[in-house]
């Protein structure tokens, strides 16, 4: 049973441009879980092959711009839900929204602007 659950989740990442190990790059990730397929595009900083620094995620009907740590939303950032139009702006920790606050995107991530 455990094997079938692990085998049902597939994740394939491709570096489309730049340095997706230790620099600035563009990476797409194809994710599949049972019959649900999704594509994530990330433009931003990489450290040791992980999305870390500042960047933009476009995934699952949403766009996030802000700080990233270990391939997760972590720090200051803004998430726009493209389906509902709702915006979450503030502090994130381990991919979870923690605190609403107004942030100035200018200067937050000067090397990666939305």
Do the Cβ atoms of 14 and 27 come closer than 8 Å?
Answer: yes
Rounded Cα distance between 6 and 18, Å, is 31
Domain extent listing, the chain: 9-100
The per-residue pLDDT for 6 is: 44
Residue pair 51/28 in contact by the 8 Å Cβ criterion: no
The model carries a pTM of 0.80
What's the start-to-end Cα distance of the chain, in Å? 43
DSSP 27-59: EEEEEEETTEEEEEEEEEEEETTEEEEEEEEEE
Fold of 9-100: 2.20.110
Q: How much is the pLDDT for 60?
A: 80
For residues 100-111, average pLDDT: 72
**What confidence tens digit (pLDDT) does each residue in 58-93 have?**
988 899 999 999 999 999 999 999 989 999 999 999
């Amino acid at each position: 049973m455990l094997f079938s659950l692990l085998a049902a989740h597939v994740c394939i990442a491709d570096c489309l441009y730049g340095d997706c190990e230790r620099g600035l790059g563009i990476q797409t990730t194809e994710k599949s879980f049972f019959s649900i397929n999704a594509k994530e595009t990330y433009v931003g900083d990489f450290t040791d092959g992980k999305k870390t620094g500042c960047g933009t995620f476009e995934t699952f009907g949403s766009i996030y711009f802000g700080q990233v740590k270990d391939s997760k939303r972590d720090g200051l950032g803004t998430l726009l839900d493209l389906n509902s139009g709702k915006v979450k702006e503030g502090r994130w920790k381990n991919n979870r929204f923690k605190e609403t606050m107004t942030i100035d995107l200018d200067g937050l991530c000067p090397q990666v602007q939305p």
